[in-house]
Each structure stands twice: as structure tokens, then as C-alpha cells.
Amino acid sequence: MMTALLGRRARTPAVEVLGLGVVAWALVAAGLLSPAAATLLGWLALGSAAGYALSGST
């Protein structure tokens, strides 16, 4: 299931991290996310982007 979520393409997780940020903003705009939850999602997405960016490192 996790593999299906991540997809078979290397770029899929990057799209998903971007999607996480966009969804978080949409939830904020809709008033469905508390400020604390929104900021923590922001930090989570920032950390995920940083972590996945190292995938091609040696």
C-alpha cells in the first residue's frame, strides 16, 4: 500500500510532498485547519522535501 502511495516513478514522492503543502494551504483557506496544525504540516512538508532531496546523493 505504501509503495502504491509513493508510486513507481522516482518523481512521485516529490509531487506528493508538493501536494501536501498545497492541501495544507487549501485547508487553511477553508478554515479547516488550526494554525498550529497548519504550521506543523508546513514543517513536516519542509522536512520531507529536504529528506527526499537527498535521495540521489552518494
The residues, any chain, with a CB within 8 Å of residue 10's CB and separated by 6 or more, are: 55
26 is a site residue for another protein (CB under 8 A): no
Q: Which helix (H) or strand (E) holds 13?
A: helix 12-29
Helix axes 12-29, 35-53, angle to 10 degrees: 170
Q: In angstroms, give the least distance from the CB of 26 to another protein.
A: 11
For another protein, the binding residues in 28-47 under the rule CB under 8 A are 28-31, 33, 35-36, 38-47
**Interacting residues with another protein (CB under 8 A):** 2-4, 6-15, 17-18, 20-22, 24-25, 28-31, 33, 35-36, 38-58
